[in-house]
Amino acid sequence: MKCYAPEQLPVLTALAREFAVCDQWFSSLPGPTWPNRFFVNAASAGGLDHSPSMTEIVEWEANLEGGFRFEGGTLFTQPQLSWAVYSAGGLCITQAMQGVRSHDIRPFDRFASDLQERPVAQYTFIEPNYGDVVNDSYAGGNSQHPRDDVRKGELLIKATYEAIRNSPVWNESLLIVTWDEHGGFYDHVTPPPAPSPGDARVMPAAVNKYGFTFQQYGVRVPAVVVSPWIARNVIDHRLYDHASVPATVESLFGLAPMTQRDANANSVAPLATLASPRTDCPERLQVPADFAGAPAPEQQPLKRPAPTDSVSEGHLPSFLHLAMRTDLELSQPTERQAILARVKAIQTRAEAEQYMRDVSQRLDAFRAGSATKP
């Protein structure tokens, strides 16, 4: 939170001052995006301790249908819990998990209008737009990933808060704003040991490439908790990690823990200490200064991958996996082997970009058709 001046991030600054900041919220492991994001909704990474390669992804999908699986399931497989997933972009990492398919993902531009109607899901998860993942620039997204303009993420957070604040569910709401991991930046606080999730691995043994036991938290990440039941300007020093999200959901809705990690995680629900909901919470937040909808100018040229470069670097294999899962779900079973073969044959970033564009167009057409149905 100290990387920027308050006037540069007016949305996060306002929410931090109006509600609660958790200054001991750690990522769930000292690792990359996918396993950390899995912890948010499963209190486990299912043994995954690395960013999977393209070969691994195709092999998993060829032999296992239904998404990345967990012994204790996910929040999306709990029969007592109603849920919704919104994506501000096309492909959604949550879709890789057991219990979530492409037709479950709603476009974020429906979020505000959905909140005006009853019933509203008990648990809602919102993913950003990751932008240009093919060229590793993340440009054009709103995930606040390094190399992209953080102000676009400010606009996403602003839209989310204002949709909830001006809806009938405001007085029943609790919003957690956090990040999967740190992006590689220094922090002076040493992450403490963590309780192992203790769940059995149900995916192939190769998911645990480095033998990691998940008994160590990753670096701290910012976390802001918003609710009309929270007092102004609270600084919470309790220990949290991403498993605190399911721990909170479980405490609010009477669900059993999925692993030992969420069983031992702190819930943020005790932050709601007020006897009645506040009436002084802002209805609108300030737009980031000088925002013109364009990326901030780069201070020095950044190397871009060539179209002929391999697809095996960075997060691209993971997003190809999401495109492949979407393609499979939008296709007939008879097309399955051809789709797997096409993805397995992708060698260059140019080929990956073309395939992902093809799938995105199919997904857009599917969503447009679904939106027009009565």
Summarised one tens digit per residue, pLDDT across range 346-368 is: 999 999 999 999 999 998 898 88
Helix (H) or strand (E) holding 154: helix 150-165
CA–CA dist 321, 334 (Å, integer) = 19
Residue 301 clears pLDDT 60, i.e. is over it:
no
Of 157, 87, 56, nearest to 360 by C-alpha is 87
Residue 277, both tokens:
């909901």
Q: Could you give the C-alpha distances from 362 to 138, 159, 324, 328, in angstroms and in order?
A: 22, 27, 12, 11
Average pLDDT over residues 48-56: 84
Q: Which residues, in sequence order, are bridge partners of residue 24?
A: none
The model carries a pTM of 0.93
Average pLDDT over residues 297-325: 77
Of 123, 44, 111, nearest to 81 by C-alpha is 123
Residue 181 clears pLDDT 80, i.e. is over it:
yes
Query: Cα angle at 76 between 268 and 158, to 5 degrees?
Result: 55
Which tens digit of pLDDT belongs to each residue from 66-120?
688 999 999 999 999 999 999 998 788 999 898 899 889 999 999 999 999 989 9
- Average of per-residue pLDDT values in the chain: 91
CB atoms within 10 A of CB 292: 7
- Write down the domain spans for the chain: 6-271, 315-368
Burial class (CB in 10 A: 0-12, 13-18, 19+), 16: buried
Which tens digit of pLDDT belongs to each residue from 144-174?
988 888 999 999 999 999 999 999 999 999 9
Domain 6-271 in CATH 3.40.720? The answer is yes
